Amino acid sequence: MSIFSLFHTIHYLKIKQIIFQIIYRLYIPPFIQRCQVGVSMLLKDDISKYTCNNDMCFTFLNLSSDFKGWNDISKGMLWAYNLNYMDWLLQEGMSYEKGAEWIDRFISDLPGNRIGLDPYPIALRGINWIKFISWRRESIDERHLKQWNDSLYSQYVLLSKKLEYHLMGNHLLEDAYSLFIAALYFKDDKFYRKSKKMLWQELKEQILPDGAHYEQSPMYHCILLDRLLDCYNFSSYNIRFVGQETFNECLKEKIVLMLGHLDSIVWKDDTVPLFNDSAYGIAPTVSELRAYAKRLKLEWKSLLMNGCGYRKLCSTRLEAVVDVGNITATYQPGHSHADTFNYELRIDGRPFIVDTGISTYNKTARRQYERSTSAHNTVTIGNKNSSEVWGGFRIGKRAKVKVLSDTESEVMAEHNGFKGYIHQRKFAINDEVFTINDEIIGNNTAECISYIHFAPDIELLAMSSTEIRTNRANIVVSGAISIDIINDFVSIEYNRLKPSKTIKILFDRSLTYRIF
């Protein structure tokens, strides 16, 4: 990290973020045990959680470990966070007795549980506890109920004092979701007024007019939609405050938008593109989200993508999702990559050209690579990133995109992410041919490389400076100086890397390739 990287990163932050960064470093609100009565709630069937607990062994992010305490970071901080979310209380086959034992253990260990008292784990765990208590109410004796409610309420009081204004983005929205559900459970007017205001403010800002979440990560879009469906579910079947029905209509409005965006971005098999820290096996599937929405009697229609940076180009056999957007949210780009003009392409419903995905949140060389420009299906100039990714979740100086044309079969845009250059790229699908044209405008002479990352099952059959033949499609290249093959890896799930092939095309100022 350089002082310039730090400056360009801070430059985009909101003043409120900086203020709360300072406050939370100087003052940590204490956890104080309080007493409160909760009222179990009705709700329609939600989405089942992934099975991740087997007695004393936990599996998160495809990494398994015996329980070693709530602060165990041997598998990384995200693994420890997952342990403290306690999603596994709601997994199929979890008995009441085993779940109660884990809640008791958590409460007993809470004074020394630093990670468990972070606001994000409190928010996610709180919803899981409320669901567990509501569904198992008849099995819970009064002593346990009081103990659990007192601890849960105390955790929510702490959350209300540690709302993640220093981060904002999806974290703050999750805080609002959880505090809103807690307000209903505890019939707490103060929680309700605060969470309702915050929730609506964040939904208005974070959900774009075309229904996309503004961080533009399909995985996080699904996660946040699932939680919003939970809010609507709880609030629709448990009316406890004046005007709640009206607010439910506001929640419904945003749900319908988010469902409409999903319908437009998903592949034909109902999976999502793996852009911006997306991976499979974390969020609910699109099919599960649709089924959940239908159980809540919601109706929606597909929305045209025009507010977010993604566009979909399709023919009978070809299906491409391309990225011609700026990095957003500007003040919280933690899940963004230096991937301007990246794309994924499927042929006959099967992956052909893919994003390399994300395998880890640990601040490693692998994390840095997976956020880099060369890890995506786009162009590097002078071996630089189009946006300055650093520190695992930070971005300094960044590319600015201008869309030049945008039709059903073609989109063209340019960006200035490389100093001294403008990169123009045109995507087009016509007559079952996907064409990409790159033009580099500038007076310097830095090396230009276009990267193409193939799905793991793609075999390269033959290659020359003008043609690449594979077992799924052919690529005809015009303007290449040389073409090289790299042994690479892609990841569609956390901590699982699959061997793959990547093509590096060296070119001067203009390059065109056609896939058919």
Q: What is the pLDDT of residue 152?
A: 98
299 and 323 fall within a common domain: no
340 and 260 fall within a common domain: no
Q: What is the pLDDT of residue 444?
A: 79
- For residue 121, the SS3 value is helix
Domain assignment of residue 28, yes or no: no
370 and 445 fall within a common domain: yes
Q: What is the pLDDT of residue 4?
A: 83
Q: What is the pLDDT of residue 393?
A: 97
212 and 359 fall within a common domain: no
> Alpha-carbon dihedral of residues 143, 144, 150, 152, nearest 10 degrees?
-170
Domain count, the chain: 2
Which residue's entry shows tokens 């749900």?
255
Which residue's entry shows tokens 């996309």?
212
Q: Is the peptide bond before 329 cis (omega within 30 degrees of 0)?
A: yes
Residue-wise pLDDT tens digits, 84-114: 999 999 999 999 999 999 999 999 999 999 9
How far apart are the C-alpha atoms of 54 and 95, rounded to whole Å? 12
Domain assignment of residue 124, yes or no: no
Last residue of a domain, one of 304, 332, 353: 304
Domain assignment of residue 332, yes or no: yes
285 and 349 fall within a common domain: no
Last residue of a domain, one of 279, 304, 329: 304
**H or E segment and range at residue 24:** helix 15-26
299 and 321 fall within a common domain: no
- The count of other CB atoms within 10 Å of the CB of residue 479 is 19
Domain assignment of residue 65, yes or no: no
Domain assignment of residue 78, yes or no: no
438 and 392 fall within a common domain: yes
Domain assignment of residue 17, yes or no: no
CATH number for the domain harbouring residue 395:
2.70.98.70
How far apart are the C-alpha atoms of 215 and 221, rounded to whole Å? 8
Q: Name the DSSP letter for residue 375.
A: G
Q: How far is CA 356 from the centre of its chain?
A: 15
171 and 318 fall within a common domain: no
C-alpha distances out from residue 418 to 48, 358, 380, Å:
45, 24, 8
327 and 454 fall within a common domain: yes
Q: Using alpha carbons, select from 266, 265, 255 the residue that is nearest to residue 297.
A: 255
How far apart are the C-alpha atoms of 197 and 189, rounded to whole Å? 12
458 and 495 fall within a common domain: yes
Residue-wise pLDDT tens digits, 13-59: 999 999 999 999 998 898 999 989 999 999 999 998 888 999 899 99
Q: What is the mean pLDDT of residues 484-510?
A: 98
Q: What is the pLDDT of residue 224?
A: 99
Residue-wise pLDDT tens digits, 5-25: 889 899 999 999 999 999 999
The packing angle between helices 142-161 and 96-109, to 10°, is 50
Q: How far is CA 50 from the centre of its chain?
A: 17
Residue-wise pLDDT tens digits, 200-224: 999 999 999 999 999 999 999 999 9
278 and 381 fall within a common domain: no
CATH number for the domain harbouring residue 225:
1.50.10.100
299 and 443 fall within a common domain: no
Domain assignment of residue 115, yes or no: no
Structural domain boundaries, residue 383: 310-515
Residue-wise pLDDT tens digits, 326-363: 999 999 999 999 999 999 999 999 999 999 999 999 99
Helix and strand numbers (H, E) in the chain are: 12, 19
Q: Using alpha carbons, select from 477, 487, 486, 474 the residue that is nearest to residue 507.
A: 477
Confidence tier at 1 by pLDDT (50, 70, 90): low
Domain assignment of residue 158, yes or no: no
Confidence tier at 3 by pLDDT (50, 70, 90): confident
Last residue of a domain, one of 304, 321, 338: 304
Q: What is the pLDDT of residue 159?
A: 98
Return the structure tokens found at 131. 């669901």
- The count of other CB atoms within 10 Å of the CB of residue 124 is 21
Beta strands 460-463 and 410-415 are unpaired
